[in-house]
Structure 1
Amino acid sequence: MKTKQELAGIYVASITAYDQAGNVDAAALQKLMHRNINEGAAGFFVGGSSGECFMLTEAERVQVFEAAAAYAGKTNLIAHVGAIGTAEAVRYAKAAMGMGYDVVAATAPFYYGFSPKEVCRYYYDIAEASGSPVLIYNFPGNTHREFDVANPDYIQLFKSGAILGVKQTNYNLFQMERILNLNPDLIAFDGYDETMVAGQALGSSGSIGSTFNMMLPHYKKIFDLFDAGKREEALALQHKANNCMEAMCRVGLIPAIKYELARQGYPVGEARRPFSPLTDEQKAYVDGVLDEYLVK
Structure 2
Amino acid sequence: MNFNGIISAMVTPMTKDQEVNEAVSRQLTDHLIRSGIHGIFILGTNGEFHVLTPEEKVTLARCVVDEVKGRVPVIVGTGANSTKETIEMSLKMEEEGVDALSVITPYFIAPTQKEIVQHYERIAVSTILPILIYNIPSRTGVDLEEETVAELAKIPNIAGIKDSSGRFENIKQYIKVTQKEDFSVLAGTDSLILSTLQAGGTGAIASTSNMLPELVVSIYNSWKEGNEEEARRAQDNLQPLRDTFGYGTLPSVLKKAVELYGIPVGPPRAPVSELNGEALEKVKEMVAYYKGVSAEGVFRG
* Matched ranges for 1:191-230 at <5 A: 191-230=188-227
Corresponding position of 2:72: 75
* Conservation of the 8 A alpha-carbon contact between 1:72 and 1:100: no
Question: Structure 1 residues 135, 100: closer, same or farther in 2, change over 3 A?
Answer: same
Q: Distance in 2 between matches of 1:292 and 1:234?
A: 20
Say whether residues 1:147 and 2:144 are aligned partners. Answer: yes
Q: Secondary structure at the match of 1:145?
A: coil
Between the two proteins, what is the percent identity of the paired residues? Answer: 25
The worse-fitting range, judged by mean Cα deviation, of 112-121 and 49-58 is: 112-121
Which amino acid in structure 2 is aligned with residue 193 of structure 1? D
Q: Per-residue deviation at 1:165?
A: 0.9
* Conservation of the 8 A alpha-carbon contact between 2:135 and 2:164: yes
Question: Structure 1 residues 27, 159: closer, same or farther in 2, change over 3 A?
Answer: same
Corresponding position of 1:168: 163
Matched positions, count: 290
Corresponding position of 1:17: 13
Which amino acid in structure 1 is aligned with residue 190 of structure 2? D
* Conservation of the 8 A alpha-carbon contact between 1:13 and 1:50: yes
Q: Secondary structure at the match of 2:270?
A: coil
Q: Per-residue deviation at 1:158?
A: 2.4
Corresponding position of 1:54: 50
Q: Distance in 2 between matches of 1:265 and 1:291?
A: 12
Question: Structure 1 residues 13, 264: closer, same or farther in 2, change over 3 A?
Answer: same
Question: Structure 1 residues 154, 265: closer, same or farther in 2, change over 3 A?
Answer: closer
Q: Distance in 2 between matches of 1:289 and 1:268?
A: 18
Corresponding position of 2:82: 85
Corresponding position of 2:36: 40
TM-score under structure 1 normalisation?
A: 0.91
TM-score under structure 2 normalisation?
A: 0.90
Q: What is the Cα-based RMSD across aligned positions, in Å?
A: 1.8
Q: Per-residue deviation at 1:229?
A: 2.2
Q: Distance in 2 between matches of 1:287 and 1:217?
A: 20
Corresponding position of 2:296: none
Q: Distance in 2 between matches of 1:223 and 1:157?
A: 27
Q: Per-residue deviation at 1:186?
A: 0.5
Q: Name structure 2 gaps, 5 residues minimum.
A: 294-298
Which amino acid in structure 1 is aligned with residue 16 of structure 2? Q
Q: Name structure 1 gaps, 5 residues minimum.
A: none
Question: Structure 1 residues 95, 41: closer, same or farther in 2, change over 3 A?
Answer: same
Corresponding position of 1:29: 25
Question: 1:98 is matched with which residue: 83, 88, 95?
Answer: 95
* Conservation of the 8 A alpha-carbon contact between 1:116 and 1:154: no
The runs of at least 4 consecutive aligned structure 1 residues that moved more than 4 Å come to none
Q: Distance in 2 between matches of 1:39 and 1:46?
A: 17
